[in-house]
């Protein structure tokens, strides 16, 4: 019992330390990529304190953290004091608690560690059968942190940010859920270890067998993590800072860390559910019971490289794409992503139901090809029939409206401006 | 002009083709642009180590200098035209009878408050003898307000510092010395 709790504590310490350092350094990476994409150099001055060693600016997160710690912990007079403090705590707690069921590697071999006679699974709480449901329950709790912060701030920008966030998270929960049901149907288990095990055993990552589900999940992850092009909850050009407008000091940094943790969680889930987790052909092997030390370490490295790549992709998308308008965001969720998710779900369900017959007729390659065909047809159909594209065209009848309002003595638009 | 004016031409947004409606090709296009810039050349100048290039020092408006003539005397004739032209009232001149036969007055003291100066270049425009000029020195720093009030000696020393890199504008422009 004691050994198990020590093992769990060590894993928690590793994970927490890794995540917090990771979140801090991803802020630096985000600033670097932002700078490089805009043809700037980015933060490259802060290095070892009190020396002239610059280290490409790797000391920046430390300096940022210190700055936040020494800032005044200001609570505006008009806020609800209890909820104002509770909101960032709840969002960070929920964001961290998710990592209980997310594997950060495969298993360690039996031999080699003194005093341990079993394989150590690199996951804080191994063998939880409701893993995925737990993740989605907790990621929905994140919306409480956001909306509580917005409400408790007692400010219109915060409230608008909170409301937008709740609407957005609830809308994108559905396509995300549908994409996950596809994976769960194929695996037959809600445990993330089993999802990776299935992909490793067959050698076909879910992204290849369910391309439509993969795209839907990636888009929904962007929306759930409130990253550009879906960062409406904190759209700084419209809402000052969104739900954390009134926050400063440590409570603000707790919010910011939680946001980065959401992005890291999303990358973990994309990597694990769709990109094979720790599996890579020819390097990591595929067995979860017999592992060498080389394989065990290679698996951790492969998983981390995948997550790093996805996060870089997140950051590149941020600088490639403008923000959606709110109605575009909603129509994308309800009119495009939800039907596409249903198509994917039905296709996967048929595949699972008639697997032996299909496999004998088409072969594994044929099944994958037909899934790609279905995805392509559904995507083109969505492009033609659903409002994927923007509808910014000026309406020609706007001057009729304006003439009417002028007759009534009202002016709804500025002169010369088309509505 | 009203929106229903017949001279207003209504232009429709071009209709999106199939690839435009598909979104993904556009995303890949956008990512290609960002990736190109990610590895492209950077515009940033790492300032203290690396000096920015000033396009044309002749038209740059940096720190002032007081020019000297061939005999090393200050060119200023204390006509007060620069002080009159100055919109920020940062030039203070005390005139005295000239010890030299070629002019009536010269400036006993010539002070420019660089903190009040807005670097508009009006003094340079106004000067009839091309005595006050703006150089291309831009990194003007000091630790106190007093330090930033440049007197005649300091302005003449700015001339000594910059005369090789930036010859007197009147000479370059072809005017009489």
Segment A228-240, tens digit of pLDDT: 788 877 777 777 7
Residue B27 to residue A321, Cβ atoms within 8 A: yes
Q: Any idea where the domains of chain A sit in the sequence?
A: 1-70, 71-385, 394-419
Pairing of strands B105-113, B149-150: antiparallel
Q: Any idea where the domains of chain B sit in the sequence?
A: 57-173
Q: Which CATH class is domain B57-173?
A: alpha beta
Of B3, B16, B23, the CB nearest to A399: B3
Is residue A401 over pLDDT 80? Answer: no
Percent of the residues in chain A that have a pLDDT greater than 90, as a whole number: 9
Structure tokens at A359: 């496999």
Other beta carbons within 10 angstroms of residue A277's beta carbon come to: 29
Is residue A348 over pLDDT 80? Answer: yes
Is residue B11 over pLDDT 80? Answer: no
Is residue B154 over pLDDT 50? Answer: yes
pLDDT digits (tens, 9 = 90+) for A42-85: 888 887 877 777 778 888 888 888 888 888 888 888 888 888 88
Per residue, what are the HEC states of A139-185?
Answer: HHHHHHHHHHHHHHCCCHHHHHHHHHHHHHHHHHHHHHHHHHHHHHH
Contacts of A388 in chain B (CB under 8 A): 21-23
Numbered residues of chain A with Cβ closer than 8 Å to any chain B Cβ:
33, 35-41, 215, 316-317, 319-321, 379-380, 383-384, 388-389, 392-394, 396, 398-400, 402-403, 415-416, 418
Q: Are A376 and A326 in contact (CB under 8 A)?
A: no
Residue A40 to residue B43, Cβ atoms within 8 A: yes
Is residue A412 over pLDDT 80? Answer: no
- Give the gap in angstroms from C-alpha B25 to the nearest C-alpha of chain A: 12
ipTM above 0.90, yes or no: no
Contacts of A383 in chain B (CB under 8 A): 18, 21-23
Numbered residues of chain B with Cβ closer than 8 Å to any chain A Cβ:
1-4, 10, 12-13, 16, 18, 20-24, 27, 30-31, 33-35, 37-44, 46
pLDDT digits (tens, 9 = 90+) for A259-292: 888 899 999 999 999 988 888 887 777 777 777 8
pLDDT digits (tens, 9 = 90+) for A161-191: 888 888 888 888 889 989 999 999 988 888 8
Percent of the residues in chain A that have a pLDDT greater than 70, as a whole number: 91
Of B20, B33, B37, the CB nearest to A389: B20
pLDDT band at A419 (very low <50, low <70, confident <90, very high): very low
Q: What one-character-per-residue DSSP string does A254-322 give?
A: HHHHHHHHHHHHHHHHIIIIIS-TT--TTTS-S-SSS--HHHHHHHHHHHHHHHHHHHHHHHHHHHH-P
- Please give the residue that has the higher pLDDT: either B78 or B177: B78
Report, as an integer, the average pLDDT of A354-382. Answer: 84
Residue of B nearest to A42 (CA): B44
The structure's pTM equals: 0.80
pLDDT digits (tens, 9 = 90+) for B107-142: 889 999 999 999 998 998 888 888 898 888 888 888
């Amino acid at each position: 019992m004691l050994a198990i709790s020590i093992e769990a504590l060590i894993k928690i310490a590793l994970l927490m330390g890794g995540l917090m350092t990771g979140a801090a350094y991803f802020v630096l990476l985000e600033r670097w990529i932002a700078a490089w994409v805009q043809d700037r150099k980015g933060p490259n001055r802060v290095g070892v304190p009190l020396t002239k060693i610059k280290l490409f600016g790797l000391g920046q997160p430390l300096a940022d953290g210190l700055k936040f710690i020494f800032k005044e912990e200001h609570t505006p007079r008009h806020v609800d004091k209890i909820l104002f403090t509770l909101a960032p705590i709840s969002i960070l707690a929920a964001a961290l608690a998710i990592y209980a069921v997310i594997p950060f590697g495969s298993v360690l071999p039996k031999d080699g560690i003194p005093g341990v006679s079993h394989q150590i699974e690199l996951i804080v709480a191994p063998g939880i059968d409701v893993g995925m449901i737990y993740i989605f329950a907790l990621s929905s709790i994140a919306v409480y942190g956001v909306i509580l912060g917005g409400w408790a701030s007692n400010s219109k920008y915060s409230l608008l940010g909170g409301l937008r966030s709740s609407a957005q998270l609830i809308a994108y929960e559905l396509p995300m859920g549908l994409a996950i049901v596809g994976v769960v149907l194929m695996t037959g288990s809600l445990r993330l270890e089993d999802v990776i095990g299935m992909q490793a055993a067959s050698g076909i990552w879910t992204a290849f067998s369910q391309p439509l589900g993969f795209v839907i999940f990636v888009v929904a992850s962007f929306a759930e993590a409130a990253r550009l092009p879906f960062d409406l909850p904190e759209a700084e050009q419209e809402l000052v800072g969104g739900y954390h407008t009134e926050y400063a000091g440590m409570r603000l940094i707790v919010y910011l860390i939680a946001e980065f943790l959401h992005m890291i969680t999303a990358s973990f889930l994309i990597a694990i559910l769709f990109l094979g987790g720790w599996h890579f052909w020819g390097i990591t092997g595929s067995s979860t019971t017999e592992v060498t030390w080389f394989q065990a370490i290679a698996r951790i490295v492969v998983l981390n490289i995948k997550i790093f790549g996805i996060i870089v992709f997140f950051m590149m998308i941020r600088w490639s794409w403008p923000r959606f308008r709110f109605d575009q965001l909603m129509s994308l969720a309800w009119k495009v992503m939800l039907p596409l998710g249903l198509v994917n779900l039905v296709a996967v369900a048929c595949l699972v139901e008639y697997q032996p017959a299909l496999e004998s007729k088409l072969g594994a390659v044929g099944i994958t090809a037909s899934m790609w065909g279905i995805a392509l047809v559904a995507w083109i159909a969505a492009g033609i029939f659903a409002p994927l594209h923007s509808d910014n065209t000026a309406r020609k009848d706007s001057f009729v409206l304006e003439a009417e309002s002028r007759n009534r003595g009202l002016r709804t638009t500025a002169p010369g401006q088309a509505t | 002009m009203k929106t229903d004016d017949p001279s207003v031409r209504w232009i429709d947004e071009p209709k999106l083709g199939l690839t435009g409606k598909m979104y993904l090709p556009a995303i890949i296009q956008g990512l290609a642009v960002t990736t190109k810039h990610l590895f492209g050349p950077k515009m940033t100048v790492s300032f203290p180590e690396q000096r920015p290039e000033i396009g044309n020092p002749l038209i740059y408006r940096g720190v002032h200098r007081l020019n000297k003539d061939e005999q090393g005397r200050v060119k200023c004739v204390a006509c007060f035209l620069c002080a009159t032209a100055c919109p920020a009232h940062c030039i203070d001149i005390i005139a005295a009878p000239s010890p030299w036969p070629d002019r009536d007055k010269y400036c006993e003291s010539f002070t420019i408050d660089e903190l009040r100066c807005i670097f508009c270049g009006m003094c340079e425009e106004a000067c009839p003898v091309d005595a006050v000029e703006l150089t291309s020195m831009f990194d003007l720093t000091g630790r106190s307000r007093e330090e930033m009030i440049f007197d005649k000696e300091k302005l003449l020393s700015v001339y000594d510092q910059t005369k090789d890199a930036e010859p007197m504008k009147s000479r370059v422009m072809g005017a009489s010395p």
